[in-house]
C-alpha cells in the first residue's frame, strides 16, 4: 500500500510517497500552478508514476484559503447578527495599526457594514434568553439578500452564542433553506468562545474562503478519481493534525497555514525519533520563511494568531512567518537601503535565473551568483538555472551601489535575508523568555538548509539538523500527522472557590464530544488521545494565557502553580494573586499508523559522494569547496566544512567552522566546531 503526502507551496508543489511493502520513500517536485492548484498536484503525482489504486491514504496541505485572505479574493460574505451589533467587525479593536501614524487606517472588514443584517434576539452572558429569536423575521431578512446567481456566503453571528447556541442553530437552519447553494456557517460551529470581535471575524473568514475551498476539493476529488484514487482525501490543518475533506469543507478556516503546520508536525516526529526535545524549525520556501519553537516535543498550538490584518482565533500552530524566501525580491527603499522581500517572484515568472521572464534579483539569484547553487544542478529536478541571467538581475542594483561588485551585492542580499529570519526566530524565542542556544535548529524547505548555518551563527545555536528530503519535509509531515479536532468552551471559574471535580466535569463533556466525533469518522477508540488546556489569567487581567493540563495536575494548588510558571516565563514575573479560568480546551487526537523510517544503508566513503569542486564566496572570501551528492554520503560520515551538499529538492551549504555528521537514518547534523 502507498501513503501519499502533498504540499502546495508558493513556487513548488511537493509530494512524498511511502511504500509499506518496500519500506521506502520517494520524493518529487513540480512547479505550482496558482491559477489551477489541482494541476500542480496531478503533475507532481504524475512524476512519481504511481498506481493510485494502491494508495491507502492521501493527505494534502493547501494554501488556497491563505492566499485568498491575503489577496482579498474570497467570496462575497453577508452576516446575520444581533440588532445593535452590525458594527462589531467595523470597530474591531481600538489599537492603531501604526502607533505614531495618525493617518493609518485599519484594514476594511471582511463583511462590509451594508452586508450586515440585524435581527431581534438577545442572550445574556450566561446563555439565558432575554429576547427570543423570531424565525419569520430571519426568513424575511434573508429574502432581501441579493442572490446574484448564487455563490455567496452567509455568516451567522449572535451575541453570547458561545454560552447558548440555540438561536444560531435556528437561524442556521433557516439560512440553509433560504440560501440554497450558498456557504452558510455560524459562530458556535467555528469558535465557541467569548470576545465578539474575534469570534465574529473568525466566522467571517470561514465564510469568506468556504466556497473556494469547497470548489477546490470538488475539483481535486475529480482529478484524483481520474487517475484512480477514490478514497477519503485528508487535509492538513493549522493545528498540526489532519481533517477529513468533509470537515475541512465545513471549517475551511482551519486550513489556513496548513502547509507550514505539516513541517512542524514532521519536526516533532523526527525529534522524537532522535531524542531531541527542544527544536526551532526553519522552513524556507519560495515566498516566505516560517519558524516555530517547540519545547518538549509539544506542538505549540495557540488561538492568538492573525492572518494578514485579520484576527483568526481557530487553533493553529504558533508559527511566525517572514517574507524571506528563495523567490523574495531584493530592492532599494526610499532611503537607498537594500531590502529583501516581502515581494516575491513566486512560481510565475519565478527568479531571473529560471529563464521564465523574471528580471528582478531574488535570493535564489544571489545564491547562484555566489556559486552556492550549481547551474548544473536542476532545481526540483526540472528547472535548469542560468547564472548569467542571475548576475544580470543582481547587477540592476549596482547603479545605486557602484562601489560593490556583483558577488558582494549578492552576499549582501543573503545577509539581509538571514537577518530577517534571525529576527523572526528572536520573536518566538528571546521575546518569550527562551534562549535559542538551548535548541536545535531544524532546517527544511527548498532553501532552508542553504541558509541555516548562517542563521545559527547569528543566534549562537550550536547544532543544525537537516532532515532527509528537506525540500519535501512539509509533505512528509502531512503524511505522518494524526487526525486532530479541537473543542473549546467559555466557562468562567475562580479556582480558589471551585472544586477540581468541577473542572474535570467540563473537560469530560468536551472529551465525550470529541471522542464521539472521531469514532464517527472511523477512528478506533483505542487510538484516541486527549490533550487538555485551560485559558487562565490573574483576576482583573483582560487576556488569558494557555496552560497545559497533563494528568499529573489533579488539584487546585497544582493548577495555580502551573499558571504562575507560564506567566513567569511569558512576562518575567508572577504575582501569586487570585486566578481565574476563562476557557476550557480539548484536543481530540486520533492516532494513525506511522511509516517505519528505514535505516540509511548507503556505504562506502566520503570520497564516493564527490561531484565537483568550485569556488564559493564566504564572508567576502572565495574558497575552493567540494560539492557532494547527499544520496551517496554513507551513514556515519563525518567531515568539516566548507562544503556544498546537493540533492533533489534542496542544497545544504556548510560554511567554514562547521562540521557534518550523517546520522543513522540519513539525517545530517551540522555542528559548530568552535563549541
Residue 526 contacts by C-beta under 8 Å, 6 or more apart in sequence? Answer: none
CA distances from 389 to 385, 393, 416, 529, 604 (A): 9, 6, 21, 53, 38
CA nearest neighbour of 59 among 317, 274, 280, 240: 240
Low-confidence winner among 115-129, 140-154, 288-302 (lowest mean pLDDT): 140-154
At residue 287, φ and ψ (nearest 5 deg) are: -115, -20
Is 371 within the bounds of a domain? Answer: no
The confidence band for 454, taking pLDDT boundaries of 50, 70 and 90, is very high
Query: Are 104 and 205 part of one and the same domain?
Result: yes
Residue 541 to residue 544: CA distance in whole angstroms: 7
Q: Is 137 helix (H, G, I), strand (E, B) or coil?
A: helix
Q: Is the pLDDT of residue 80 over 70?
A: yes
Do residues 510 and 628 both lie within one domain? no
Q: Count of CB atoms within 10 A of residue 600's CB? A: 18
State CA 471 to chain mean position distance: 16
Q: Above 90 in pLDDT, residue 667?
A: yes
Helix (H, G, I), strand (E, B) or coil at 200: helix
Domain of residue 44, CATH code: 3.30.420.40
pLDDT tens digits along 540-597: 888 889 899 999 998 999 999 999 998 988 888 888 788 999 999 999 999 988 887 7
Residue after which a domain boundary falls, among 176, 209, 242: 209
Partners of 653 in beta bridges? 644
Residue 421 dihedral angles phi and psi, to the nearest 5°: -70, -35
Q: Same domain, yes or no, for 60 and 82?
A: no
Confidence of residue 663 (pLDDT cuts 50, 70, 90): very high
The residue among 638 and 287 whose pLDDT is bigger is: 638
- Please, is 23 exposed, middle or buried when counting C-beta atoms within 10 Å of its C-beta (0-12, 13-18, 19+)? exposed
Contact 265, 594 (CB under 8 A): no
Sheet holding 440-444, edge to edge: 320-322, 289-294, 279-284, 440-444, 463-466, 668-672, 658-662, 638-640
Buried b (16+ CB within 10 A) or exposed e, 632-662: bbbeebeeebbbbbbbbbbbbbbbebbebeb
Q: Are 610 and 631 in contact (CB under 8 A)?
A: no
Q: Mean pLDDT over residues 164-178, rounded? A: 96
From CA 243, how far away is CA 233, in angstroms rounded?
9
Alpha helices by DSSP H, 490-543: 500-520
Q: pLDDT tens digit string along 340-396?
A: 888 887 767 888 888 888 888 999 999 999 999 888 766 656 678 889 999 999 999
Half-sphere exposure of 132 (CA within 13 A, CB side): 3
Tell whether 92 and 171 lie within a shared domain: yes
Do residues 91 and 125 both lie within one domain?
Answer: yes
What is the pLDDT at residue 72? 83
Provide the b/e sequence for 26-58 (b: ≥16 CB within 10 Å): bbbbbbbbeeebbbbbbbbbebbebebeebebb
Report how many domains make up the chain.
4
Which residue range forms the structural domain that includes residue 28? Answer: 2-68+215-255
Helix (H) or strand (E) holding 345: none
pLDDT at 34: 81
Q: How far is CA 366 from the centre of its chain?
A: 26
Cβ(84)–Cβ(106) below 8 Å: no
Examine the domain organization and report whether 31 and 83 are in the same domain.
Answer: no
d(C-alpha 481, C-alpha 266), whole Å: 8
Whether residue 414 is contained in a domain is answered as no
- Answer yes or no: is 200 within a domain: yes
pLDDT(675) > 60: no
Q: Which of 107-116, 320-329, 428-437 has the lowest mean pLDDT?
A: 320-329
Q: Do residue 59 and residue 113 come from a single domain?
A: no
Residue 350 lies in a domain: no
Give the distance from CA 608 to its chain's centroid.
38
Q: What is the mean pLDDT of residues 656-671?
A: 94
What are the tens digits of pLDDT across the range 212-242?
Answer: 999 999 999 999 999 999 899 999 999 999 9
DSSP three-state, residue 163: coil
In angstroms, the CA 174 to CA 126 distance is: 25
pLDDT at site 225? 92
Please answer whether residues 536 and 547 qualify as being in contact, where contact means their C-beta atoms are separated by less than 8 angstroms: yes
CA dihedral 134→140→145→149, nearest 10 degrees, is 120
Q: What is the pLDDT of residue 343?
A: 82
Nearest CA to 5 out of 54, 53, 44, 47 is that of: 44
14-28 mean pLDDT: 84
Beta-strand runs (E) in 515-572: 528-538, 545-548
* Pair 155, 244 in one domain: no
Claim to verify: residue 137 and residue 122 sit in the same structural domain: yes
Q: How many CB atoms lie within 10 A of CB 541?
A: 15
Mean pLDDT across 28-53: 88
The 10s digit of each residue's pLDDT in 392-440 is: 999 998 888 888 889 999 999 999 999 999 999 999 999 888 999 999 9
Question: Do 142 and 81 lie in a common domain?
Answer: yes
In a domain, 621, yes or no: yes
Domain end (from 209, 235, 263)? 209
What is the secondary structure of 361-378 as a DSSP string?
A: -BHHHHHHHTTSS-TTS-
| Residue of 362, 310, 336 lying closest to 107 (CA atoms) | 310
Per-residue pLDDT averaged across 193-210, rounded? Answer: 93
Q: Is 114 helix (H, G, I), strand (E, B) or coil?
A: helix
Q: Is the pLDDT of residue 297 over 80?
A: yes
Q: pLDDT grade, residue 147 (50/70/90)?
A: confident
Co-location of 105 and 204 in the same domain: yes
Instruction: Examine residue 454 and state whether it is found in any structural domain, yes or no.
Output: no
Amino acid 150: pLDDT: 64
Q: Is residue 54 part of a domain?
A: yes
pLDDT of residue 380: 59
Could you read off the pLDDT of 609-646 as tens digits, one per residue?
999 899 998 888 889 999 999 999 999 999 998 999 99
Q: Determine, yes or no, domain membership for 459.
A: no
Whether residues 189 and 107 share a domain: the answer is yes
- Look up the CATH number of the domain holding residue 559: 3.30.1490
Average predicted confidence (pLDDT) for the chain: 90
What is the maximum alpha-carbon separation in the chain?
80
Which residues, including other chains, have CB under 8 Å from residue 356's CB and lie 6 or more apart? 348, 349, 350
Instruction: Report the pLDDT averaged over residues 646-655.
Output: 91
Strands (E), 74-210: 77-82, 116-119, 122-123, 129-131, 153-157, 183-186
166 and 137 Cβ atoms separated by less than 8 Å:
no
pLDDT(124) > 90: yes
Determine the pLDDT at residue 276. 95
pLDDT of residue 382: 66
The share of the chain scoring above pLDDT 90, in percent, equals 56
CA–CA gap between residue 7 and residue 14 (Å, rounded): 5
Question: Per mean pLDDT, which range of 90-94, 266-270, 655-659 is the poorest?
Answer: 90-94
**61, pLDDT greater than 70:** yes
Q: Is 457 exposed, middle or buried (0-12, 13-18, 19+ CB in 10 A)?
A: middle
Last residue of a domain, one of 590, 623, 644: 590
Can you tell me the mean pLDDT for 467-472?
90
Q: How far apart are CA 476 and CA 403, in angstroms?
A: 45
Query: By C-alpha distance, which of 47, 20, 53, 1 is closest to 472?
Result: 47
Amino acid at each position: 500500500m502507498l501513503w501519499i503526502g502533498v504540499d502546495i507551496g508558493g513556487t513548488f508543489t511537493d509530494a512524498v510517497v511511502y511504500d509499506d511493502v518496500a519500506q521506502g520513500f520517494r520524493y518529487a517536485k513540480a512547479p505550482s500552478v496558482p491559477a489551477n492548484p489541482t494541476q500542480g498536484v496531478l503533475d507532481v503525482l504524475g512524476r512519481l508514476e504511481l498506481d493510485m489504486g494502491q494508495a491507502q491514504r492521501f493527505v494534502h496541505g493547501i494554501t488556497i484559503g491563505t492566499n485568498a485572505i491575503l489577496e482579498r479574493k474570497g467570496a462575497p460574505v453577508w452576516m446575520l447578527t444581533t440588532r445593535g451589533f452590525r458594527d462589531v467587525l467595523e470597530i474591531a479593536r481600538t489599537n492603531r495599526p501604526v502607533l505614531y501614524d495618525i493617518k493609518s487606517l485599519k484594514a476594511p472588514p471582511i463583511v462590509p457594514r451594508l452586508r450586515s443584517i440585524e435581527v431581534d434576539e438577545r442572550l445574556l452572558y450566561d446563555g439565558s434568553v432575554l429576547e427570543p429569536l423570531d424565525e419569520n423575521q430571519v426568513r424575511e431578512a434573508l429574502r432581501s439578500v441579493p442572490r446574484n446567481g448564487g455563490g455567496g456566503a452567509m455568516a451567522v453571528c449572535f451575541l453570547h452564542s458561545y454560552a447558548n447556541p440555540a438561536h444560531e442553530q435556528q437561524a442556521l437552519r433557516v439560512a440553509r433553506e433560504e440560501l440554497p447553494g450558498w456557504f452558510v456557517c455560524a459562530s458556535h460551529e467555528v469558535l465557541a468562545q467569548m470576545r465578539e470581535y474575534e469570534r465574529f471575524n473568525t466566522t467571517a473568514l470561514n465564510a469568506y474562503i468556504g466556497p473556494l475551498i469547497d470548489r477546490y476539493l470538488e475539483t481535486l476529488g475529480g482529478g484524483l478519481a481520474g487517475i484512480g484514487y477514490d478514497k477519503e482525501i485528508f487535509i492538513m490543518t493549522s493545528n498540526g493534525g489532519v481533517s477529513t475533506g468533509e470537515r475541512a469543507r465545513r471549517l475551511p478556516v482551519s486550513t489556513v497555514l496548513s502547509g507550514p503546520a505539516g513541517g512542524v508536525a514532521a519536526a516533532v516526529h523526527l525529534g522524537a525519533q532522535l531524542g531531541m526535545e527542544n527544536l526551532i524549525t526553519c522552513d524556507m520556501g519560495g515566498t516566505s520563511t516560517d519558524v516555530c519553537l517547540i519545547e518538549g516535543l509539544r506542538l505549540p498550538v495557540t488561538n492568538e494568531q492573525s492572518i494578514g490584518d485579520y484576527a483568526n482565533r481557530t487553533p493553529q500552530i504558533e508559527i511566525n512567518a517572514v517574507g524571506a524566501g528563495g523567490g523574495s525580491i531584493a530592492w532599494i527603499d526610499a532611503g537607498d537601503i537594500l531590502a529583501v522581500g516581502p515581494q516575491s517572484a513566486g512560481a510565475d515568472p519565478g527568479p531571473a535565473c529560471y529563464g521564465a521572464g523574471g528580471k528582478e534579483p531574488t535570493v535564489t539569484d544571489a545564491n547562484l551568483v555566489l556559486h552556492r547553487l550549481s547551474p548544473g544542478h536542476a532545481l526540483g529536478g526540472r528547472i535548469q538555472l542560468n547564472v548569467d541571467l542571475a548576475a544580470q538581475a543582481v547587477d540592476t542594483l549596482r547603479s545605486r551601489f557602484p562601489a560593490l561588485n556583483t558577488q558582494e551585492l549578492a552576499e549582501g542580499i543573503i545577509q539581509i535575508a538571514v537577518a530577517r529570519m534571525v529576527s523572526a526566530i528572536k520573536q518566538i524565542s528571546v521575546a518569550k523568555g527562551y534562549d535559542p542556544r538551548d535548541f536545535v535548529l531544524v532546517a527544511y524547505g527548498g532553501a532552508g538548509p542553504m541558509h541555516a548555518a548562517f542563521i545559527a551563527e547569528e543566534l549562537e545555536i550550536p547544532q543544525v539538523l537537516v532532515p532527509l528530503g528537506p525540500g519535501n519535509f512539509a509533505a512528509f509531515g502531512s503524511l505522518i500527522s494524526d487526525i486532530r479536532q479541537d473543542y473549546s468552551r467559555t466557562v468562567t471559574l475562580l479556582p480558589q472557590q471551585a472544586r477540581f471535580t468541577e473542572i474535570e466535569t467540563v473537560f469530560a463533556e468536551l472529551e465525550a464530544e470529541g471522542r464521539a466525533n472521531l469514532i464517527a469518522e472511523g477512528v478506533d477508540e483505542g487510538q484516541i488521545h486527549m490533550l487538555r488546556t485551560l485559558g487562565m489569567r490573574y483576576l482583573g487581567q483582560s487576556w488569558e494565557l494557555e496552560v497545559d493540563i497533563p494528568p499529573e495536575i489533579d488539584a487546585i494548588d497544582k493548577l495555580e502553580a502551573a499558571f504562575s510558571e507560564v506567566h513567569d516565563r511569558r512576562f518575567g514575573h508572577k504575582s501569586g494573586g487570585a486566578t481565574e479560568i476563562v476557557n476550557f480546551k480539548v484536543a481530540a487526537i486520533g492516532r494513525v499508523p506511522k511509516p517505519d523510517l528505514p535505516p540509511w544503508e548507503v556505504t562506502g566513503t566520503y570520497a564516493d559522494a564527490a561531484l565537483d569542486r568550485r569556488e564559493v564566496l564566504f564572508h567576502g572570501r572565495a574558497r575552493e569547496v567540494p560539492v557532494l551528492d547527499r544520496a551517496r554520503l554513507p551513514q556515519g560520515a563525518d567531515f568539516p566544512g566548507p562544503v556544498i551538499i546537493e540533492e533533489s529538492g534542496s542544497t545544504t551549504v556548510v560554511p567554514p567552522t562547521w562540521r557534518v555528521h550523517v546520522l543513522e537514518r540519513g539525517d545530517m547534523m551540522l555542528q559548530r566546531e568552535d563549541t
